[in-house]
């Protein structure tokens, strides 16, 4: 019996040295300490030992059992340690590695320009009002002094919907909505999308305008030019000047086309200004008395100025974009440049 125990002790020492996983460790436990393991076997064999030797032999078996259990405990702890170390190695973070970059989006160039324009006018005390994109004939045309069958309707290729509804061709209808809701003094911007059946390198069937309206006592064309001077100087360059050319819009009298001196060549002549030294940027004028009257504002007491700016046009000039389509294709290679 004693020989068997010594042989098992040797086998145990060898097996313990080879343990390198939890599976090995579990097998070791089964082999020695399990129900059918070697120590249970030894216990069973105790019956064949002479009665007087049994207590001593029992103690030897028990000491061996304690020794095996101790080895098992030490090995379990070592396995736990190894596992922990392996996991820590796997989860280790190298803080010297360059961080993963999450590309950040930004506002669309049209939104940037729109915000910039609003900022400049807000500095002069303008509020912002937004009207509906589906508009009625009355607000888009008739009350702006464009009666049905008036030839000036042909200035804009309108998308008509059912009955008297249409997709607004201009933000000017916002003037009517503002004057219906509010009495002078009025100083308001109406930015928004407009629609016309028109498409080429500089025209898109959907584009953006910003309307401006000022109504108060004693407002004149000089106020328009003064405001627009400040506007273009802040938007383009402090050195640019404006020039008013006579024009025609049904809702203003007189009407003007507003040019800025070319900020690219300082008026000397270049491809941007088509060698004229001037760039057309917007239309405007003194609000036609009929338009004021159409909104219940006494034109013998009040007068107004109005203007309409194409936001795409300003963005294209500012950023040197030669095709309006680029602003709507949303190609990130283009958008990233802003
Ligand atoms: N609505 C005009 C257009 O779309 C632009 C415009 C011109 C607006 C003169 C105005 C204005 O308010 O006074 O072409």
The answer to whether residue 331 scores a pLDDT higher than 90 is yes
Structural domain 109-335, CATH architecture: 2-Layer Sandwich (3.30)
What mean pLDDT do residues 38-46 have?
Answer: 91
Q: Give the position, in ligand 1's atom list, of the atom nearest the Cα of 305.
A: 13
pLDDT of residue 336: 92
* Closest CA relative to residue 169, chosen from 157, 152, 154: 157
The answer to whether residue 289 scores a pLDDT higher than 80 is yes
Task: State the Cα angle at 314 between 243 and 245, rounded to 5°.
Answer: 20
What letter would DSSP give residue 160? B
CA 309 to ligand 1 centroid distance, Å? 7
Query: pTM, whole model, 2 decimals?
Result: 0.73
CA 17 to ligand 1 centroid distance, Å? 92
Going by alpha carbons, the residue nearest to atom 13 of ligand 1 is 284
pLDDT of residue 99: 87
| Cα–Cα distance measured from residue 99 to residue 229, given in angstroms and rounded to the nearest whole number | 47
What mean pLDDT do residues 66-87 have?
Answer: 93
Going by alpha carbons, the residue nearest to atom 9 of ligand 1 is 284
pLDDT of residue 150: 85
Ligand 1: residue of 283, 288, 292, 310 to mutate (most ligand atoms within 8 A of CB) is 283
- Higher local confidence (pLDDT), 296 or 272: 296
CA 243 to ligand 1 centroid distance, Å? 17
- Higher local confidence (pLDDT), 200 or 295: 295
| Cα–Cα distance measured from residue 244 to residue 228, given in angstroms and rounded to the nearest whole number | 10
Residue 154 pLDDT level (bands cut at 50, 70, 90) = confident
The answer to whether residue 152 scores a pLDDT higher than 80 is no
Going by alpha carbons, the residue nearest to atom 8 of ligand 1 is 308
Domain spans in the chain, listed from the N-terminal domain onward: 2-91, 109-335
Query: Ligand 1 — pocket residues by CB below 6 A?
Result: 170, 172, 211, 249, 251-252, 283-285, 306-308
Question: Strands 206-216, 242-249: parallel, antiparallel or unpaired by DSSP?
Answer: unpaired
The answer to whether residue 189 scores a pLDDT higher than 80 is yes
Q: What is the pLDDT of residues 84-140, one digit of tens each?
A: 999 999 999 888 999 888 988 999 999 999 999 999 999 999 999 999 999 999 999
Whether 289 contacts 189, CB under 8 Å: no
Q: What is the pLDDT of residues 203-229, one digit of tens each?
A: 999 999 999 999 999 999 999 999 999
| Cα–Cα distance measured from residue 129 to residue 212, given in angstroms and rounded to the nearest whole number | 10
Q: Give the position, in ligand 1's atom list, of the atom nearest the Cα of 309.
A: 5
What letter would DSSP give residue 305? E
With pLDDT > 90 as the criterion, what percentage of the chain qualifies? 82
Ligand 1: residue of 307, 309, 312 to mutate (most ligand atoms within 8 A of CB) is 307
Ligand 1: residue of 251, 253, 304 to mutate (most ligand atoms within 8 A of CB) is 251
pLDDT of residue 153: 81
Q: What is the pLDDT of residues 224-281, one digit of tens each?
A: 999 999 999 999 999 999 999 999 999 999 999 999 999 989 889 998 899 999 999 9
Q: Where are the beta strands (DSSP E) in 30-154?
A: 127-128, 134-136
pLDDT of residue 134: 98
pLDDT of residue 155: 78
Q: What is the mean pLDDT of the chain?
A: 94
């Amino acid at each position: 019996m004693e020989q068997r125990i010594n042989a098992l002790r040797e086998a145990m020492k060898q097996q313990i040295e080879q343990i390198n996983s939890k599976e090995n460790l579990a097998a070791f436990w089964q082999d020695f300490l399990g129900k059918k393991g070697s120590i249970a076997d030894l216990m069973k064999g105790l019956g064949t030992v002479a009665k007087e030797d049994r207590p001593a032999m029992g103690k030897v078996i028990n000491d061996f059992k304690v020794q095996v259990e101790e080895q098992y405990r030490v090995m379990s702890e070592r396995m736990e340690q190894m596992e922990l170390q392996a996991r820590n190695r796997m989860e280790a973070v190298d803080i010297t590695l360059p961080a993963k970059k999450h590309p950040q989006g930004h506002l669309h160039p049209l939104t940037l320009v729109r915000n910039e324009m609003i900022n400049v006018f807000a500095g002069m005390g303008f509020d912002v009002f937004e009207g509906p994109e589906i508009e009625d004939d009355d607000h888009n045309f008739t009350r702006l002094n464009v009666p049905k069958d008036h030839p000036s309707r042909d200035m804009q290729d309108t998308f008509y919907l059912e009955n008297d509804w249409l997709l607004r061709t201009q933000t000017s209808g916002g003037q009517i909505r503002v004057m219906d809701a509010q009495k002078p003094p009025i100083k308001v911007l109406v930015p928004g999308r407009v629609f016309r059946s028109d498409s080429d390198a500089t025209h898109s069937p959907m584009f953006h305008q910003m309307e401006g309206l000022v109504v108060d006592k004693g407002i004149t064309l000089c106020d328009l030019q003064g405001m627009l001077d400040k506007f273009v100087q802040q938007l383009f360059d402090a050195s640019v000047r404006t020039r008013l050319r006579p024009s025609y819009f049904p809702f203003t009298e007189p009407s003007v086309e507003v040019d800025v001196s070319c900020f690219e060549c300082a008026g000397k002549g270049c491809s941007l200004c088509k060698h004229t030294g001037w760039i057309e940027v917007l239309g405007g004028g003194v609000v036609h008395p009929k338009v004021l009257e159409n909104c219940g504002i006494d034109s013998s007491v009040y007068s107004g100025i109005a203007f309409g700016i194409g936001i795409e046009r300003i963005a294209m000039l500012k950023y040197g974009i030669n095709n309006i389509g680029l602003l709507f294709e949303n190609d990130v290679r283009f958008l990233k440049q802003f």
